[in-house]
Structure 1
Amino acid sequence: MQAPSCILPHFCIMSVGAVAPTRLSTAKGVEGKIGNIIKGYGVSQAKPDILKDTLEVVNPQFMSNRLGTKELLLSEVSFRWSGNRLPEPNSATGTLANFYKMHSSTQDKVAAYIDNIPQQFKRVATGPKSRILCLEFHVNMDMYRDGLTRQAEELDTQSSQPGPNSRKRTVSESSASVSSLAKRGRPSLPKGISALGSRFSLCRRGTAPLIAKTQSPVTVQKFTISVDPANFEPEIIKSVLVLFDSEGGEERVVAKRLYRISDNDPDSIHNHISLIDNRLMLEAEATQLVLGEKLLIDFYLLCREKDVSVFQHIKFAQAYLLTEIPVGVTRCPSAASGLKVFDGEAGGMTWLVESKSASVVISFTSTLDHKARGSEDIQSETVHAFAHYIFGYSGGELVFADLQGTPTPVRGNDGLVLFEPMTHTIAGGSGLGDFGIDGIETFINTHKCNQLCIELRFDQSYPLQLPEDVPGPDSTNRSGSEGVHGTPDGEEEEP
């Protein structure tokens, strides 16, 4: 299928043509069924977003023309150059500008990639600024067929479950099987992990964040979250003033605040939780990101020691907190904060700030379901094995949930950045979406060891069961029962 074409330096033209029903070849007659599309993009657009846009155009036609029995997934498709030429390595996750630069750095590359334009598109490429990038949209049919097999297996599993008239099981009931497992002793743990759930006492419910569009000048003070490597206890480091104006800075960032953390809160951006509660929840999220990164480093070291090959190019998003302060021209809070005046004690709104990345999101687990989903490739297996490592390393006291990521360059390679994770802890209260022991039990019940887990012997060294001194599901004294019993509900805006 012909895919994006680019007119630099301002925008990209995307041309959609024929789909490849086999891994390396193009079937006759498919091109006419899919058709051609031209669409403009800025050179700062992320390549994964362009691939996603192409897929959204292809899938309805793919299904209506009965080229398959289920829609294509993002992990099952890719771009190649015209003539089935593979792109340069590690060029799939950066911006369109970086993609162009990587394929035009020499005259040989310009001739092989940029100037290799199919006849039907040469009339578009006229003039010095109308050089286009003609790519092909390919489908990996091996992965597609594997997906069909998994889909059929899931349907068989569902059909074997109790009928619709059966009473639905609660979280505690669904984890009742844990009581039949032998409890195991708990290893000596870093103090910060065992106390993570009690570090943030605000435990409420939330919903998924929204993308904000409000922008305004604001003066802020920067706070960086750190985790002590010896005991994993979070620390906050205050730095100099940082100014973001309406023109933006050298780095594009996304800033988030919370306006809803409970189902009882009004579903409106004009609703405000307290400044302190907002700050606590954002501190918790920043701590989860830092803790996740440190545990990921340890996981990679373990894989290296055991000589087990995993997907190496994963990282957690780097985040810091910014609190608005009345300095200089910003005597009033930003419009995005929704505040009319600064608070005498709490000051202004606190924002969680992350680097802006592609909008494509790959979901690996949800809040209460940790089984594999989508394509079970090396990247997915690595994330799920890493989740098992966290559970085992913490002695069953900590579970990372809602693991999701965006394709992005990591140390010069096509990789993945994980963001907005949630955690379940024995004490509960580690942030939005912490279900306490009930949440940990859902990991025990739904995680299925993959090939990496087995190669790393996690199925033996980190068995899926609670520590022996943690109350079982039938106990009335559930230390995590007052945690957050719901999904995260944070809504975000850009200042």
Structure 2
Amino acid sequence: FFNIGAGEGVVEIQENYHQVVKEVTRLSKAGYFLKRFILEANKQAVDITQGVTEFKLGVEVVQDTCGPSKASGFSLDQYQLASSAQIESESNHGIIVWLFEPRRSSTVSHWSGTNEYPPWHRNKLGSTLNAFTHYTYLLSLESTVLADLQSVLRVGFILMQHTHLFIQATTTIDEDGNGIQVCGVGDHGMAGINTFLEKHECVDRCKQLRLQRGGFATKPALEDSDDNED
């Protein structure tokens, strides 16, 4: 479990519910932004070949006499307490939810950090994801920055390799411009967005996609290489 406010190793059912829903929201938004990014790239004849990892939101069916599953980490007492609070407040706080994603390879490529945004001029996928982060910021009306981008290679039954993208953190502000944690753990709010504006370096693909550069630090858009050097 993440330490999300109740002490190390302790996560209440209500916290689990809110954080899983925020994570699903994060992945859904990333999937939407990527679809729009691919459409725009196709218009500009820029090659984009990766997809956001698949995911499903599951709800655990709990029998009152048995309690939650051992894998959930919640006790029967925790569940009964949360269920009582749910009935009183007419909310979903008592629901034990799960986020299901495909099992990932242990070999993971890291393309950005929570506060680091390398341009990857000499790596096709890296420079593309750098441009994707720039595009997401603009498409979200300057309210969202994708951070800690990582990817894994998955090999299908016909031996074709596909790159699947997953996002460990997202920096967001709400619609009123407040720097609050809209997307849960790892959300640095307005401070995180300002860090992105300071550190983002436009790559050639930003230029190819005609992405605006207003607000970013003044840096030249260098030419990219399509080799796979890190």
Query: Fold conserved (TM > 0.5)?
Result: yes
* 5+ long unaligned stretches in structure 1: 1-257, 467-495
**Aligned counterparts of 2:133 and 2:58: Cα–Cα separation in 1:** 30
Partner of residue 380, structure 1: 126
- Matching of residues 39-50 of structure 1 within 5 Å: none
Mapped to 2, the partners of 1:405 and 1:378 lie a distance apart of: 13
Match of 1:299 in 2: 37
**1:414 has 2:171 as partner:** no
Cα distance in 1, alignment partners of residues 30 and 16 from structure 2: 21
Structure 2: stretches of 5+ with no match in the other structure:
85-92, 218-230
The answer on whether the counterparts of 1:323 and 1:349 sit within 8 Å (CA) in structure 2 is yes
Corresponding residue number in structure 2 for 1:49: none
2:59 pairs, out of 313, 323, 335, with 323
Counterpart check, 1:333 vs 2:49: no
Larger helix share, 1 or 2: 2
| One-letter identity of the residue aligned with 2:38 | Y
Q: C-alpha distance in 2, partners of 1:440/1:410?
A: 37
The secondary structure found in structure 1 opposite 2:105 is coil
The answer to whether the 8 A contact 2:169-2:186 is kept is yes
Counterpart position of 2:196: 443
Tell me: CA distance 1:265–1:378, structure 2 relative to 1, closer, same or farther (3 Å). same
Counterpart contact for 1:311–1:378, Cα < 8 Å: no
- 2:117–2:196 Cα contact (<8 Å) kept: yes
1:310 aligns with 2:68: no
The CA distance in 2 between the partners of 1:274 and 1:281, in whole Å, is 11
Question: Hey, what does 2:7 align to over in structure 1?
Answer: 265
- What per-residue deviation string (whole Å, max 9, x for no partner) do you get for residues 328-376 of structure 1? 9x82322222222133344453221111121211110011111236x83
8 Å CA contact 2:14, 2:94 repeated in 1: no
**Structure 1: how far apart are the matches of 2:122 and 2:18?**
36
1:290 lines up with 2:32 in the alignment: no
Other structure's SS at 1:403 match: strand
Residue pair 1:400, 1:423 contacting (<8 A) in 2 also? yes
Q: Is the 8 A contact 1:360 1:406 kept in 2?
A: yes
Aligned 8 A contact 2:198 2:216 in 1: no
CA–CA distance in 2 between the matches of 1:261 and 1:381?
A: 32
Distance 1:423 1:295 in 2: 13
Q: Among 438, 452, 457, which residue is 2:210 paired with?
A: 457
Percent of matched pairs sharing the same residue: 26
After superposition, give the CA deviation of every residue in 1:385-405 in whole Å (9 maximum; x if it has no partner): 111101112232211111111
Alpha-carbon distance change, 302 to 321 in structure 1, aligned in 2, over 3 angstroms: same
TM-score by length of 2: 0.76
Is the Cα contact below 8 Å between 1:289 and 1:421 reproduced in 2? no
Deviation for aligned residue 1:259 = 4.5
1:411 deviation in Å? 10
Aligned residue identity for 2:47: V
Name the SS of the counterpart of 2:58 in structure 1: strand
User: How far apart are 1:281 and its partner, in Å?
Assistant: 0.9
Per the alignment, in what secondary structure is the counterpart of residue 401 of structure 1?
A: strand
Q: What amino acid is aligned across from residue 425 of structure 1 in structure 2? A: T
RMSD: 2.6
- 2:115 pairs, out of 357, 368, 373, with 368
Identify the residue that residue 186 of structure 1 maps to in structure 2: none
Structure 1 residue 462: Cα displacement: 4.2
Q: Distance in 1 between matches of 2:122 and 2:23?
A: 27
In 2, Cα distance between the equivalents of 1:408 and 1:280?
A: 30
Contact 1:290 1:318 in 2 (8 A): no
Secondary structure at 1:402 match in 2: strand
TM-score, structure 1 as length reference: 0.37
Number of residue pairs aligned between Structure 1 and Structure 2: 198
Moved over 3 A (4+): 345-349, 409-413
Whether the 8 Å CA contact 1:365–1:403 is kept in 2: the answer is yes
Report the CA distance shift for 1:433/1:295 in structure 2 as closer, same or farther (over 3 A): same
For the pair 1:429 / 2:165, whether they are aligned, the reply is no
